[in-house]
């Protein structure tokens, strides 16, 4: 992450709440792991630390991804889209799972006919990881 820093982070368009959606993608195989939000502070902390820091909209506070589970995301690259209102980070997902359910990806429900089908098996047991 020495090649990423937060000087001049212009070109990013935050929404009315000061947030920008961030898609986390596995840097090795391109799997989309999750989508969450950052504000300017969490983006700065992400670039400084090299680990993904989001803004939790439900808890209304900084969310240092993996602080409880240990499943941090090491950021390998950062992209913005054509109008600057969405970001992609390519990450190395420590622990192998991004989702609080234990699934590797939060997108483990695939549309199948007129229902949703679970397409993966949890990598960890949430009851054990979040027991505190």
Q: Which residues bind a second copy (CB under 8 A)?
A: 3-8, 11, 21, 23, 25, 29-32, 34-35, 47, 77-83, 86, 88, 99-101, 103, 106-116, 119
Q: How far apart are CA 45 and CA 67, in angstroms?
A: 14
For a second copy, the closer CB: 72 or 99:
99
Give the H/E segment covering residue 45: helix 40-49
For a second copy, the closer CB: 7 or 128:
7
Q: Which two tokens stand for residue 85?
A: 């209102």
- Residue 29 Cβ vs a second copy, minimum distance, rounded to whole Å: 7
User: Dihedral, CA atoms, 128, 26, 75, 24, nearest 10 degrees?
Assistant: -80
The DSSP bridge pattern shows strands 32-38 and 115-118 to be: unpaired
Strand pairing partners for 78? 89
For a second copy, the closer CB: 26 or 72:
26
Q: Which two tokens stand for residue 88?
A: 């992609």
For a second copy, the closer CB: 82 or 127:
82
- Residue 132 Cβ vs a second copy, minimum distance, rounded to whole Å: 20
User: Dihedral, CA atoms, 56, 54, 21, 125, nearest 10 degrees?
Assistant: -80
For a second copy, the closer CB: 82 or 132:
82
- Residue 109 Cβ vs a second copy, minimum distance, rounded to whole Å: 5
- Residue 127 Cβ vs a second copy, minimum distance, rounded to whole Å: 16
Residue 1 CB coordination number (10 Å): 15
- Residue 40 Cβ vs a second copy, minimum distance, rounded to whole Å: 15
């Amino acid at each position: 992450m020495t090649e990423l820093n937060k000087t001049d982070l212009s070109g990013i368009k935050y929404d009315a709440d000061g947030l920008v959606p961030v898609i986390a993608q596995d840097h090795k195989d391109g799997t989309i792991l999750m989508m969450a939000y950052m504000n300017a502070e969490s983006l700065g902390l992400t670039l400084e630390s090299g680990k993904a820091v989001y803004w939790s909209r439900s808890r209304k506070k900084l969310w240092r991804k993996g602080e409880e589970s240990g499943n941090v995301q090491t950021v390998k690259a950062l992209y913005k889209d054509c109008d600057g209102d969405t970001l992609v980070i390519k990450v190395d997902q420590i622990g192998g799972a991004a989702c609080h359910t234990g699934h590797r990806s939060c997108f483990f429900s695939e549309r199948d006919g007129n229902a949703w089908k679970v397409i993966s098996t949890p990598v960890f047991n949430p009851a054990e990881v979040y027991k505190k």
